[in-house]
Chains A and B, each alone.
Chain A
Amino acid sequence: MASSGSAATTSDVLPARARYPAGVLVALAGTGLLLVAAFWDLAIGARPLSASQVVGGLFGHGNVLDVEIVRSIRLPRVLMAAVIGLDLAMSGVIMQGLTANPLAAPDIVGVSAGAALVVVAAATVFAQIHGTALVLLGFAGAGIAAFGVLGLAGVGQGRTSPVRMALAGVTVTAMLLAFTQALLLLHQNGTAGIFFWLVGGVNFAQWSDLLVILPWTAIGAAGAMLLAVALNILALGDDVARGVGLNVDRTRLLGVLCVVCLAGAAVAVSGPVAFIGLIVPHTTRRLVGNNHLLVIPLAGLLGATLLTFADVGARFVQFPFETPSGIVTALLGAPFFLYLARRHRASA
């Protein structure tokens, strides 16, 4: 596994293995699961709907109330879960590719916390801010945190140790979280509501939110695909990559911009949903090898599937009340993180 990080040897990554048959299987299975999850997510809720009611609602037949519930409450929520899952999973793949570091992910490195801080600050100072303005602020926070932590952890100055990046990320996250909590405690209007947001979830997504995030998702995903070949070359190590003519610094810069675009927008709209960017890329690479041309789109698909399932799972926590779906991904992802950390070799 080349993804096992800094200790990967050249023979692990050369040539970037692509298991295309496996890729086709994963794509089919992922799409099927995504449809199942989406359908389930549409049917479940305070007013349970049968399969025929869901289909009727989608096409505008049947009970007016059901049509309204499906079309304007549940459908945007399901689509948002898919979009956010895709964003976070893709940004995880890019980060791990850029840093050659298995533990890199937007929430571990502090990108999510940076975006969250700026968004909470804006929301407490200007109560009326929303939509694209909030997303742009999310970009600012995510960007500062991303460049800050990656720079401080020494990315771009030779190999970075996963330990240093994880320690730096955890501590920066703790600091940003403390700032966020300071803001919350000083403006005690609805702590519970903002805490709900801080866990991350797509529970109250609306069509307007979806319109805000879609362009950024498109830009980020397109950018990620364009960078796929460069990321494959970067996996050979900085020196080899330079040797074959890759502009390493420019690739890193563009990659971080993609991460900021994807993760910043996702956090601004739905809060810092945890661990998607860690679980999904690793699982995808396990399944289809490490060619980014294959890993990036499939990780996006599986990320969408995972968050949609997580949204279904969140409904069971305290039915019929709403629970942020980030809870489910956090409970799933943290043990996965432990597994990755334990697998890490004694060297580094």
Chain B
Amino acid sequence: MAVLAARPLRPWVVAPTLPVLLAVLGGAAVVLSIFSLAISGAHLPLWPALQAAVGADNRYGPVIRNSQLPRVLLCWVVGCSLGVAGGVTQGVIRNPLASPDVIGVSKGAGVGAALLLLVLPTAPVIAIPIAAFSGGLLAFVAVYLFAYRQGASPVRLALTGIAVGAICDSIVRFLLVKWPIDINAALIWLVGSLYGRTQVDVLEVLPWMLVLTPALLFFAHRLDVLGLGDDLAIGLGEPVERTRLVTLLLAVSLASAAVAVAGAIGFVGLVAPHIARRLVGGQHLRYLPLSALVGVLLMLIADSLGRGIHPPLDVPAGLITALIGGPFFLYLLARIVR
């Protein structure tokens, strides 16, 4: 198994410094957000759309404020959450192939949401994120408890995560087959989409990101120590089990919050940390912020493409992240083996 911090990481190009990278990627994300505001199934000219976004009262105002702006903001919040949660998960599991989806979080959230959508279709819409969030957290608790045997080794965490994910998958399938009434809504949620999200959703997920991201960055140095392997970390005086549990719990909450509003969007939490590490190396304090920005960019690209590619149809962002992220993952896998 490749140990992240110990791996010599050769940057793709002559390495620009971290501030430069943050500025460039942040700038790109801002520009993309501006253009993304005007991409819609309906016709939206760019300049009036921008004016409406900053408060001008023209006829595009309602569309921009109620539909376009919340989606762009959610791309930021969800992308950042998944990027950070993915980086931390890979660091703790010490496996570059891990991600929050693998730890069973997205699938547990899927069970929560599907249970509500299919069994109680009359429940208020606001309850879906709550059900999804609890499902994600419960799945993680199950994974941790099953993996725990005189400590939860990263290998067992990964394997039990996959297994609990498989259990969640079969429960979702069972629910979908047993209550096939609203199968399309459930499928779209399970793929992950920002369609129809409003300010309420943004406000629901924003606090989680604002609290948990700095909290995880606070643990960055301890994650570096954890990356040296359990023996060395214990030798350095790190309470390995506790750090692992606390950081994973924080990362899982962050990912669950993102999945709760956006659906089970895959591959962002897997791919963003890789790109970030390749750019600035494996030190958590350096690559986690970059990973967040890469996650934002991925979400913006996926959601804009989803809206613009086949206009009346809103292709779920989760499909596009999988289409982009999947091949990239294969490329990574090929490199890791060699």
Per the bound structure, the CA–CA distance linking A152 and B338 in Å amounts to 9
One of A126-134, A168-176, A229-237, A254-262 at the interface: A168-176
Q: Which residues of B contact A186 (CB under 8 A)?
A: 310, 313, 315
B243 at the interface (CB under 8 A from A): no
Chain B binding surface SS class: helix
Q: Which residues of A contact B158 (CB under 8 A)?
A: 163, 166-167
Chain A binding surface SS class: helix
Tally A-B pairs: CB < 8 A.
159
Contact A331 B333 (CB under 8 A): no
Contact A330 B169 (CB under 8 A): yes
CB distance from A124 to the nearest CB of B (A): 15
Per the bound structure, the CA–CA distance linking A153 and B97 in Å amounts to 11
Contact A148 B167 (CB under 8 A): no
Bitwise interface map of A from 305 to 348 toward B, beta carbon under 8 Å scored 1, else 0 = 00000000000011000011011001101110110111010111
Given contacts A103-B159, A163-B95, A178-B319, contact A338 B326 (CB under 8 A): no
B242 at the interface (CB under 8 A from A): no
Contact B177 A341 (CB under 8 A): no
Per the bound structure, the CA–CA distance linking A199 and B178 in Å amounts to 12
Interface residues of B in 84-111 (CB under 8 A from A): 95, 97-99, 101-102
Per the bound structure, the CA–CA distance linking A344 and B174 in Å amounts to 28
Q: Which of A153, A175, A192, A199 sits near B326, CB closer than 8 Å? A: A175
Per the bound structure, the CA–CA distance linking A167 and B177 in Å amounts to 27
Contact B173 A185 (CB under 8 A): no
In this complex, how many residues of chain A approach chain B with their Cβ under 8 Å: the count is 53
Report the nearest B residue to A200, measured CB to CB.
B173
Per the bound structure, the CA–CA distance linking A318 and B159 in Å amounts to 33
24 contacts between A and B (CB under 8 A): A163-B155, A163-B158, A164-B97, A168-B333, A171-B102, A174-B267, A175-B325, A175-B327, A175-B329, A181-B191, A191-B183, A191-B184, A196-B177, A274-B170, A323-B177, A323-B178, A327-B170, A330-B169, A330-B170, A338-B146, A338-B163, A342-B146, A342-B159, A346-B149
Residues of B within 8 A of A (CB): 1, 95, 97-99, 101-102, 146-147, 149, 153, 155-156, 158-160, 162-167, 169-171, 173-174, 176-178, 180, 183-184, 187-188, 191, 266-267, 270, 310, 313, 315-316, 318-319, 322-323, 325-327, 329-330, 333-334, 337
